[in-house]
Amino acid sequence: MKQQNELIKHPTIAIDVGYGNTKTAWAMGAEIATNMFPSLAPLAANSSLNAFGGGVFKGRNVLNVEVDGARYEVGPGVSISGAHVHTGRSLSEDFATTAGYAALLAGALHYAGAREVDRLVLGLPVHNTQKYAAHLKERFAGTHNFGWGDIHVGSVLPLPQPLGTLIHYIQQRGKQYDPDNSYLVIDVGYFTTDWVVARGYTVDDTRSGGVPGGAARIYQQVASLITADRNQPDVGIERIDQAIRDAKPLVYFGEDLDMGPYLSEAMALTNQPVKEIQTRVGRTDDLRAIILTGGGAQLYAPAIRAAFPLNPIHMMDSPCFANVRGFYTIGAATRQASRAA
């Protein structure tokens, strides 16, 4: 991920400040650039020892952000271990209203090199989009200073997270997309699992929804199982997340701990959110396909395949970025439409 040295004007930027990671998409010439960093926003350190290393040690790739008089650090180099980490991630329903959310959003704008943004597209979980959409519009439209000069945002467009994946999927499939029949999009995030049923560009609200329960629930259960097995303090779920994603053992008091047995036992927790989807969606014989996306998609895929054995399931490439790529497309299209009106 490249940090832009020159802050510029962007017609459209899409940012998905998720519970697990913060993802961004914006135009860079004819291409769509993306970046991602953990959704951790601990209070910033007061000093750094790297300056005393004689040039041998490298500084962490983090950015100090000022929100409501406090300084936070965000970015790809933020620490995932240490006593402060648990104060840096929010797993609350009102996450979109917190200072940490604002700090992560500010960091995403900075890494995209944004000085002016005409249209800022933001994602929200399905089940609280209506509750917090107005807040995001009011909070982030206008002029802001997060510690490195003014940033102006013209308008904010909040969207339910799975809609971004749907639009990106339509783009990828081209003429193979069937607008006359329904698709089920399941987005397994860090803290929530969201889904929408859509036919063409029309969402069926009666069959769509979202529930708490994503990848973090599995990581928390793995941590509890390790604690019970080893009779030691809880392992930070950030390190468990990284070990599982990298398919590597977890360093635990000097030992390389195999995650496989703990993960296999914790996977039983994926069944409840999937049952919620089954209940809300109902009969699935009308679905052309199920589209699976989100950072926790691989964890939930076995339970989803077992629950919908007769339906084709399409796993999105680079599922972490599917939402935000679609958000960018929606933002750019609606911006052009509003200018033409």
- The pLDDT score that the predictor gives to residue 85 is 47
**In this structure, is residue 64 part of a structural domain?**
yes
Angle at 67 between CA 66 and CA 68, to 5 degrees: 125
The answer to whether residue 337 sits within a structural domain is no
Question: Has residue 249 been placed in a domain?
Answer: no
pLDDT, residue 340, reads 62
Cα 167 to Cα 326: distance, rounded to the nearest angstrom? 5
Which residues pair with residue 22 across a beta bridge? 17, 37
Cβ–Cβ under 8 Å, residues 335 and 119: yes
Q: Is residue 43 part of a domain?
A: yes
Return per-residue pLDDT of the chain as tens, 341 residues.
444 445 578 899 999 999 989 999 999 888 999 999 999 999 887 755 555 555 555 667 899 999 999 999 999 988 776 544 444 566 788 999 999 999 999 999 999 999 999 999 999 998 889 999 999 999 999 999 999 999 999 999 999 999 999 999 999 998 899 999 999 999 999 988 999 999 998 999 999 999 988 999 999 999 999 999 999 877 888 899 989 989 999 999 999 999 999 999 999 999 999 999 999 999 999 999 999 999 899 999 999 999 999 999 999 988 889 999 999 999 999 887 666 65
Number of domains comprising the chain: 1
Q: Does 57 map to a domain?
A: yes
Location of structure tokens 């468990």: 240
Q: What confidence score (pLDDT) does residue 6 get?
A: 54
In a domain, 256, yes or no: no
Any domain includes 284: no
Q: What is the pLDDT of residue 259?
A: 95
Q: What is the pLDDT of residue 83?
A: 45
The whole-number pLDDT of residue 84 equals 46
DSSP string, 297-309: HHHHHHHHHHHST
What is the distance between the alpha carbons of residues 101 and 72, in angstroms, rounded to a whole number? 11
Q: For position 236, what pLDDT does the model report?
A: 83
CATH of the domain at 109: 3.30.420.40
Question: Residue 318: its pLDDT value, please?
Answer: 87
Length of the chain: 341
The phi, psi pair for 248, rounded to 5°, reads -125, 160
Domain coverage including residue 118: 8-160+322-329
R_g of the chain computed on alpha carbons: 20
238 located within any domain = no
